[in-house]
Amino acid sequence: MKGDEAACVLFDAGHRACGGCAAAMAARFILEAAGKDTIIVSSTGCMEVFSTPYPETAWNVPWIHSLFENNSAVASGIVASLKKQGRKEKVIALGGDGATFDIGILCISGAFERGHDFTYICYDNEAYMNTGIQRSGATPYDASTTTSPAGKCSYGNPRPKKDLPAILAAHGAPYVATASIAYPPDLKKKVEKAVNTPGPCYIQIHAPCCTGWGFESEKTITIGKLAIETGLWVNYEMEEGKVTRVKKVVRKPVEAYLTEQKRFRHLFKPKRNDAEIAKIQAIADRNAEKFGIDIKLKA
């Protein structure tokens, strides 16, 4: 495990992430998998803010900050320059779901269409956490955020989560995958595969946020596992646009996931909202059918 230890320090301690932060875990897993010859392009977001308060940095690899919207464009430039120089460093563009699903999608689309050899990794905590938990295109249906607050006239975010992996697969990306911090070996295997696949690859990492979702800091991995066990998050790999590998589960009802988080509290208090819970269960059922995640138990 010597190599592992050396890699550990590539994302160093002393960063200012909340206790129990999944994005901080993701950063370490990504670098453990990608190795020291990696250049990170980080868009604005939690990860950028907590890892690099001026004049400090938690990164022990070359790291550059871009704006919210243009980290794929910056990464494209770096890739082109490395190619011209004949260098072999891996380039990873790293963004939160706000930077990826909403603000940066134009530049991401451009970089994927041009076919640069880089990996885009989105740590998906399902809202703009850094600025105070505003909803994004990645916020799931009925989640309460500061810009989609649940109340008398609202059940929270009225729109389903955008299917970004499918959008990027449609660009002809050779490798697209979803992963979760709850399964580190799987996540690291996918990062390794992505950085070693020529062309633009995309990985979306489910990163539960204790501050924004409302759960205790020690439950980060428990929540990540529940998302997968209920079918509300599916871990899969797509190669050349086809789903090639899926994590199968014995599915639990979605309540198991929802009741653990304050952002869904309004569905249970003051009284249980069966109609809305059924709609969320339907989302999980559709996921299960689309990806075939159900393990059929013998009666």
Please report, as ranges, the residues that interact with another protein according to CB under 8 A.
Answer: 1, 5, 8-9, 11-22, 24-25, 28, 51-61, 63, 184, 216-222
The three-state (H, E, C) secondary structure of 17-51, written as one string: CCCCCHHHHHHHHHHHHHCCCEEEEECCCHHHHHH
- Give the start-end residues of each E strand in the chain: 38-42, 63-65, 90-96, 119-124, 150-151, 154-155, 175-180, 201-206, 236-239, 242-246
For another protein, the closer of residues 59 and 112 by Cβ is 59
Least separation in angstroms between residue 193's CB and another protein is: 20
Nearer to another protein, 20 or 137 (CB): 20
Taking the least distance from each CB to another protein, the nearer of 261 and 287 is 261
Shortest separation between residue 105's beta carbon and another protein, angstroms: 27
The smaller minimum CB distance to another protein, of residues 160 and 184, is found at: 184
**Least spacing, CB of residue 284 vs another protein, in Å:** 25
Min separation Cβ 126 and another protein, Å: 18
Query: What is the spatial distance between Cα 95 and Cα 292, in angstroms, rounded to a whole number?
Result: 29
Residue 14: burial class (beta carbons within 10 Å; 0-12, 13-18, 19+): exposed
Residue 105 or 121 having the CB closest to another protein: 121
- Least distance (Å) from another protein to the CB of residue 18? 8
Whether 62 and 246 have beta carbons less than 8 Å apart is answered as no
Placement of tokens 């929802």 in the chain: 258
